[in-house]
């Protein structure tokens, strides 16, 4: 997966709490197992006025003018602001894939559903927790300033506001390392490839009857 180190991007705000994974990526799009192509269907039921189906040309669909992703002020956003318990509901890795495919690399919220947070970490999407009162300020500034952008430094664990103020965040060291290096689960396992090879050799010698030729 793509490493995450520094990011400066326009912010898009979704001012709703308890947004579940079915809203982020509706169930009819879960048949595909590739990690790309889901961006046009991100928040499909809120974003469009008709029902979306897999393989449909979204460029011809009627847009919901009241939904935030359809507001020209936020086109090209890389940072997503959310409220409490973002990503609740079923475990749905497709929800993270859709955010990434749309172009979002960082989601900031007061809290995340545990499984969604784990899926973010495993797929290279940085999920940052900030206090509710800080989120209130960010929402207010984004809504008042078109083109509002934040700069995120993962190594320094800081979000820089346009006025230069730094908002520091906590992150597990292991998650931080895998994001900085761009290591998914397979890449993490392969870091121990030599240990695995030595174990296999030893195991074959100790229990040869388990390995018939």
Task: Tell me how far apart the alpha carbons of residues 150 and 97 are, in angstroms, rounded to a whole number.
Answer: 22
Kindly report, residue by residue over 139-194, the tens digit of the pLDDT.
Answer: 999 999 999 999 999 999 999 999 999 999 999 999 999 999 987 766 666 666 67
C-alpha to C-alpha distances, 18 to 26, 31, 210, nearest whole angstrom: 15, 25, 50
Task: Tell me how far apart the alpha carbons of residues 49 and 66 are, in angstroms, rounded to a whole number.
Answer: 10
CB 4 within 8 A of CB 74: no
Kindly report, residue by residue over 92-122, the tens digit of the pLDDT.
Answer: 999 999 999 999 999 999 999 999 999 999 9
pLDDT band (50, 70, 90) for residue 133: very high
Low-confidence winner among 83-97, 124-138, 185-199 (lowest mean pLDDT): 185-199
Task: Tell me how far apart the alpha carbons of residues 25 and 50 are, in angstroms, rounded to a whole number.
Answer: 15
Quick one: pLDDT at residue 213?
Answer: 67
Quick one: pLDDT at residue 10?
Answer: 98
Higher pLDDT, 205 or 101: 101
Res 91 pLDDT > 90: no
Quick one: pLDDT at residue 185?
Answer: 64
The structural domains of the chain, ordered by start, are 6-181 (3.20.19.10), 183-213 (no CATH)
Quick one: pLDDT at residue 187?
Answer: 61
Higher pLDDT, 124 or 194: 124
pTM of the model: 0.88
Quick one: pLDDT at residue 182?
Answer: 84
pLDDT band (50, 70, 90) for residue 212: confident
Quick one: pLDDT at residue 188?
Answer: 63
Quick one: pLDDT at residue 197?
Answer: 75
pLDDT band (50, 70, 90) for residue 33: confident
Exposed / middle / buried, residue 39 (Cβ in 10 Å: 0-12, 13-18, 19+): middle
Kindly report, residue by residue over 61-82, the tens digit of the pLDDT.
Answer: 999 999 999 999 999 999 999 9
């Amino acid at each position: 997966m793509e490493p995450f180190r520094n990011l400066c991007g326009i912010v898009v705000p979704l001012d709703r709490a308890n947004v579940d994974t079915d809203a982020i990526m509706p169930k009819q799009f879960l048949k595909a197992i590739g990690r790309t192509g889901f961006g046009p269907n991100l928040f499909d039921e809120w974003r469009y006025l008709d029902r979306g189906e897999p393989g449909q040309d979204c460029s011809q669909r009627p847009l919901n003018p009241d939904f935030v992703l359809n507001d020209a002020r936020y086109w090209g956003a890389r940072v997503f602001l959310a409220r409490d318990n973002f990503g609740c509901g079923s475990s749905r890795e497709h929800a993270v894939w859709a955010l990434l495919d749309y172009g979002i690399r960082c989601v900031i919220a007061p809290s995340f559903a545990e499984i969604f947070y784990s899926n973010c970490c495993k797929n290279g999407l940085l999920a940052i927790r900030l206090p509710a009162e800080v989120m209130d300020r960010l929402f207010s500034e984004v809504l008042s300033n078109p083109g509002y952008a934040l700069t995120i430094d993962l190594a320094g664990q800081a979000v820089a506001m346009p006025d230069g103020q730094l908002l520091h965040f906590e992150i597990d060291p292991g998650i931080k390392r895998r994001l900085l290096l761009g290591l998914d689960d397979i890449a993490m396992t392969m870091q121990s490839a030599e240990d695995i090879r030595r174990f296999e050799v030893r195991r074959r010698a100790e229990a040869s009857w388990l390995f018939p030729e």
